[in-house]
A and B are shown apart, each in its own frame.
Chain A
Amino acid sequence: MTAAVVTPGRPARERRSARGRPLTPVSGLGLGVAMLWFSLLVLIPLSAVVATAGEGGWSGFWRTVTNEQTAAAIRLTVGVALLVTVVNVVMGTLIAWVLVRDQFFGKRFLEVLIDIPFALPTIVAGLVLLSLYGPESPLGVDVANTRVAVFLAFLFVTLPFVVRMVQPVLQELDREVEEAAASLGASRFTTFRRIVLPSLTPAIAAGAALSFARGVSEYGSLVLLSGNLPFKTEVASVRILISIEGDNTAGAAATATVLLVISLFTIVALDLIQRRVANRG
């Protein structure tokens, strides 16, 4: 355990000291605690998943992830998660904008309500979605056992991420800069594109990354409404569950590893896009 803390800690310290700013004892302690915490909760469990995936050997890993049904489930999960992320980027920014810039009746209430999907146990969310958008929908919207159900469930659980990331940044934004831009003849759209958007981009990207990662791993809220039909509505987490039930932990870990790698790529890609957009301003 100690080794795990010291090893990742050391390169950071060396890099810092190379720049001639040695860590004070207090910040050294802080770094140590942070790394220990991070290792216990993230690094060690993730390594364990990857290690378990390797148990079946390369051929076992490959057979699992190229299984037609698993591959289809991974494609569906990632595809819908991407789509949901795009929708969230637009809608989340819009909602944050409305919440920060507009004054209207019930605003406070709405602000509290946004967080509810965070608080609701996902299986309860699943029940709610089934009763609202299932065959006995009081709204007349029946999407049960279709891909729309997967999309809807992902949307439901990921809604708060972009809103909550963008909101505080928007609040801090200096409106005088916008006014200055307007007085210099910039249209509202140009002001938004050149002044507001670049400041919001890091927050939007962070929200998008969270929203994507959450969508990829979703299980509870969609399992009742989606029907889990192979090639149609079966998501990766259901395939993982099936592997576990078949006592194939290596297979389950293999599918999980693929999801991890895809998430990693997506988050890095989002970061790159974010940097480019932010620099353009």
Chain B
Amino acid sequence: MKYRSRAALALAAVSLLGVVACGGDDDDSTSGDGGGGGESTTLSIVGFAVPEAANKAIADEWAKTPEGENVEFKTSYGASGDQSRAVVDGLDADYVHFSVASDVTRLVDEGLVAEDWDQGDNKGVVSSSIVVFGVREGNPKNIQTWDDLVKPGVEIVTANPASSGAARWNALAAWGQVIEAGGSEADAEAYVDKFVDNVVSLTASGRDTTTAFLGGTGDVAMLYENEAILAKQSGETDFEYIIPDTTILIENPGAVLTDADPKAQEWLDFVLSEDGQRQFALKGFRPIVDLDVDEVEGANDPGDPFPEVENLLTVADDFESWDALSTKFFDEEDGIVTKAILESGKSE
């Protein structure tokens, strides 16, 4: 009994000390900040998951320049749509980097991003890539073209354009390549139907596509070039990626928020500079400025990592705008792609 009460006393004393010590720490750190003279700024980056590594590398480079000195970063990465909605719901952000423009326009509608965010030289785009085909090692089904994808027996893995904003690029590429080859809208619709019929797994996100494909599902996965390169960089070497003759340019938007710290604009400028874009290139993104990159590990040809695509579709040239195409293709009730997916399910 005596022993017990002594133990309890000791415990109480220790926890009291703990409380005091914590309080002390807090005081110290606040006074420390005050003493620092307020030179350092903290920028909040909110983005989709893929460019995390590249953004970190860019931040390291920026820290070496006079503008980037004493800037600290608070970062949050996740699914693009979720991140965009989180900012609307109050997640603190100075700079956002999303996979599709509609995630930025959601912020424009809320007055969080200026209306003219996409009027600069870069049209609001900070990183880019292309849609490619991921195939098994040695390409056993010899998949080279879009027509090869819709042959009987070819199993496709793609993220669901309904649940993943980023997967919409895949669907647009599938549609656009028919039009590019001189086909009519009806031809394109027929192609998308056949394409969807061959889909064996509609994953929730681009990352799930890679996981499911590398886990053995399907013959071909709709991937982004940068994700294929990144997967190879991280040691997944038992697959190949094929760049089709016609594909779409994926443009990931970035923007500074209206109430952001002035440093955020300087950061964006650096991201768009050659030094910034070089870091993107090293992680597999196609640079948006003319740039000599020596070698990109993981690319099909590391010496020539980003070969020119014969017919490169873009949203601006081939699909008007994100607003227009969102309704036309992906409306929850009667978008063309939404309906193709619905019909494919019913026919089985």
Contact = CB atoms under 8 A, between A and B. Distances in A.
A238 interface: yes
Contacts of B341: 230
B201 A134 contact: no
B345 A135 contact: no
Interface string B316-348: 000000000000001011000000011011101
Contacts of A243: 332
A45 to B, nearest CB: 16
A248 interface: yes
A176 interface: no
A203 interface: no
A69 to B, nearest CB: 6
A273 to B, nearest CB: 34
Nearest to A241: B163
Contacts of B344: 230
B162 A224 contact: no
B208 interface: yes
A223 B348 contact: no
B216 A136 contact: yes
Contacts of B164: 245
Interface in A235-281: 238, 241-248, 251
A247 B165 CA distance: 11
A105 to B, nearest CB: 35
Contact of A68 (B160, B200, B204, B342): B342
Size band of the A side of the interface?
Answer: 20 to 34
Contacts of B211: 127, 130, 224
Contact of B201 (A67, A227, A248): A227
A72 B346 CA distance: 10
A228 B344 CA distance: 12
A229 interface: yes
Contacts of B342: 68-69, 230
Size band of the B side of the interface?
Answer: 20 to 34
Given A68-B342, A145-B217, A245-B164, A238 B332 contact: no
Interface in B52-108: 81, 85, 106
A148 to B, nearest CB: 14
A52 to B, nearest CB: 13
Given A224-B212, A228-B202, A245 B345 contact: no
Most buried by A among B208, B211, B345: B345
A231 B345 contact: yes
B106 A135 contact: no
B203 interface: yes
Given A127-B211, A245-B164, A223 B204 contact: yes
Interface in A90-137: 127, 130-131, 134-136
Contacts of B81: 244-245
A227 B202 contact: yes
A219 to B, nearest CB: 9
A214 interface: no
A208 interface: no
Contacts of A69: 342, 345
Interface in A12-51: none
Given A230-B345, A231-B346, A246-B332, A134 B163 contact: no
Given A144-B217, A243-B332, A246-B332, A224 B208 contact: yes
Most buried by B among A230, A245, A251: A245
A194 interface: no
B24 interface: no
22 contacts: A68-B346, A69-B345, A72-B345, A130-B211, A130-B212, A145-B200, A223-B204, A224-B212, A227-B201, A227-B202, A227-B217, A228-B201, A229-B200, A230-B342, A230-B346, A234-B345, A238-B204, A242-B332, A245-B81, A245-B162, A246-B332, A247-B106
Interface of B: 81, 85, 106, 160, 162-165, 199-204, 208, 211-212, 215-217, 330, 332-333, 341-342, 344-346, 348
Lowest 3 A-B CB distances belong to which pairs? A230-B345, A231-B345, A135-B216
Interface of A: 67-69, 72, 127, 130-131, 134-136, 144-145, 223-224, 227-232, 234, 238, 241-248, 251
Given A130-B211, A228-B163, 11 more contacts: A127-B215, A228-B201, A229-B200, A230-B346, A231-B348, A238-B204, A242-B163, A246-B162, A246-B330, A247-B106, A248-B332
